[in-house]
Amino acid sequence: MECLLAALLILTTGPVGLLDANPEAKRLYDDLLSNYNRLIRPVGNNSDRLTVKMGLKLSQLIDVEWNDYKLKWNPDDYGGVETLHVPSEHIWLPDIVLYNNADGNYEVTIMTKAILHHTGKVIWKPPAIYKSFCEIDVEYFPFDEQTCFMKFGSWTYDGYLIDLRHLKQGENSNNIAVGIDLQDYYISVEWDIMKVPAVRNEKYYSCCEEPYPDIIFNLTLRRKTLFYTVNLIIPCVGISFLSILVFYLPSDSGEKVSLSISILLSLTVFFLLLVETIPPTSITVPLLGKYLLFTMLLCTLSVVVTIAVLNVNFRSPVTHKLAPWVRTVFIETLPPILFIKRPKKDDDDNEECMLTDVLHIPGPFNMYEKPTFESFDLGLSGGRFEIPPPGLACFDEPPFPLPLAGGDDELYSPASCRTGAFDPPSDVSPGFGRVDGYDMEKTIADSKFIAQHVRNKDSFENVEEDWKYVAMVLDRLFLWIFTLACVVGTGVIILNAPSLYDTTKPIDVVISKVAKKRMALLQMVPEEV
């Protein structure tokens, strides 16, 4: 608060002292402006052309220079005063306006003081904020370059009355390589200034025969992409590669479709962010929008393919038959190409061999067909015993070690089965040899039915496993296809921006003294620490 009061005190008391101590300046001011008419163009002859020089600074300043013959004086007559600051409202000002103005106010609104030199030279540097029309090309957004222009000229004076020229313009050239002064420019955090040329033009309008000069300042801006790369591009690329992992997720987990839908929703959020970031235009689709559309198309296709793979995964022999070409393509041909190796079941052949050896089932068994039995005399009075043929009831090679513990060696001897000899023990009753043939037949039929059921069940499960294996092969196939599409699509779309290959150094960093001072300070800080 004390500093503010001191500054106000100096501002209010300073001019009084200056006026009291500089009477020549006051006399000069009165002599120059007592009979001065600021509405008349300052030329000695009405046919003379007044040269107005104009420059532009990107520090909210516009430089205008011209010569006013009525504002000349001899410094010796006024105590050596060579310059004088006068209010710009009291002298003639060129009506230079921005032609492509987008604000509605074409003229300078803040009227600062003008600097008068004893030679008649007038310098006026009013601060101004201009808003101009600029056609935005968002084809390569966010790796885009924009070229905007600002067209300045006199609104009422033609080229015969005012010769509008650039401050740095030569005599025989209308082009200026660096048309904007960037020495006091503060580096933007969003844009790099690549080129700032200026060109002087003379245009003839249909209303008038006189030419109207103007100066066009061109600004070539390149967008800084770090913000968009970190906040839009990298997350979008990550989400697009998440759509690939859908095919690596097992079908039995039940989360494949949920993951795909979640990725689609996240891409929708990125679309909303993109709409808020870029200017609305229907001329072209921005580069990032193309990539989001490509990613959304991939995610949509992944949902469709995932549903088809799930349909294959849950097929069964009851609803679908495994076609031979499906087995040939997806079980025999594609797995080696896709680096898939199906593990073999070591116990399948052993179980099948065991069932065949124990029950000797030659083929499909019909439980309603009565099997053929052979009968032989047991050597007992009235005793006969019926047994199946040798392939049904006896073992060629017993699956279990014989004799069994607690069993009758002679009764279960393979030799006795082959020879048909059966010697019952001497201490058994004569009715021991009578065996009920119906019970034996029913037992064998039930055993064959059980064996056939086990075989059918194994066949059913094998077909189901084949369908699951086909679904796994499809998942792996689409995993490679979508990975290749994602990598190629990302490279083709993102790397298509020309600014990625432009190594030109921004001109604002080279010219701006503010940037150089900042870099010097940043280099000094580590040394001091």
Helix/strand/coil (H/E/C) assignment for every residue in 235-248: HHHHHHHHHHHHHH
Alpha helices in 278-339 (DSSP H): 287-313, 324-326, 334-337
**Exposure string over 103-133, b if 16+ CB within 10 A, otherwise e:** eeeeebeeeebbbbbbeebbebbbebebebe
In order of 166, 217, 519, the CA distances from 221 in angstroms are 22, 13, 22
Handedness of CA 287, 288, 289, 292 (dihedral sign): positive
Classify residue 47 as exposed, middle or buried by CB count within 10 Å of its CB (0-12, 13-18, 19+).
exposed
Cα angle value 188/191/195 (rounded, 5°): 105
CB-based contact 151:99 (threshold 8 Å): yes
Its sign, for the CA torsion 228, 229, 233, 239, is negative
- 199-211 pLDDT per residue, tens: 999 999 888 889 9
Q: pLDDT tens across 23-82, in order?
A: 888 888 888 888 888 888 888 887 888 888 878 777 656 788 999 989 999 999 998 999
Over residues 352-357, the mean pLDDT reads 50
More confident residue, 109 or 464: 464
Give CA 401 to chain center in angstroms. 71
Grade residue 373 by pLDDT with cuts at 50, 70 and 90: very low
Q: Is the pLDDT of residue 365 over 50?
A: no
What does the pLDDT look like over 118-161, one tens digit per residue?
A: 999 999 988 888 888 888 888 898 899 999 999 999 988 999 99
Reported pTM: 0.65
- pLDDT for 455 equals 78
Q: 233 φ, ψ to 5°?
A: -70, -50
CA distance 511 to 59: 13
**pLDDT tens string 224-265:** 999 989 988 898 888 888 888 889 888 888 788 888 888 888
50 neighbors 43 (Cβ within 8 angstroms): yes
- Residue 194, pLDDT above cutoff 90: yes
> Which of the four pLDDT bands, split at 50, 70 and 90, describes residue 348?
low
Strands 384-387 and 374-377: antiparallel
Confirm if 28 and 76 have CB atoms less than 8 A apart: no
438-442, long-range: CB < 8 A, 24+ apart: 440/373, 440/386, 440/387, 440/388, 441/370, 441/371, 441/373
Q: Which residues pair with 222 in a beta bridge?
A: 145, 192
- Burial profile 402-430: b = 16 or more Cβ within 10 angstroms, e = fewer: eeeeeeeeeeebeeebeeeebebeeeeee
Dump pLDDT digits (tens) for 447-489.
Answer: 888 887 787 777 777 878 888 899 999 999 999 999 999 999 9
Question: Residue 468 and residue 466: Cα distance in Å, rounded?
Answer: 5
Which pLDDT band holds residue 345 (cuts at 50, 70, 90)? low
Domains and CATH numbers, the chain: 33-224 (2.70.170.10)
Task: Centre a 10 Å sphere on the Cβ of residue 349 and count the other Cβ atoms it contains.
Answer: 10
CA nearest neighbour of 254 among 217, 196, 309:
309
pLDDT confidence tier of residue 219, bands split at 50, 70 and 90: very high
**Distance separating alpha carbons of residues 4 and 522, to the nearest angstrom:** 31
Q: How far apart are CA 335 and CA 477, in angstroms?
A: 9
pLDDT band at 430 (very low <50, low <70, confident <90, very high): low
* Cα distance between residue 86 and residue 35, in whole Å: 15
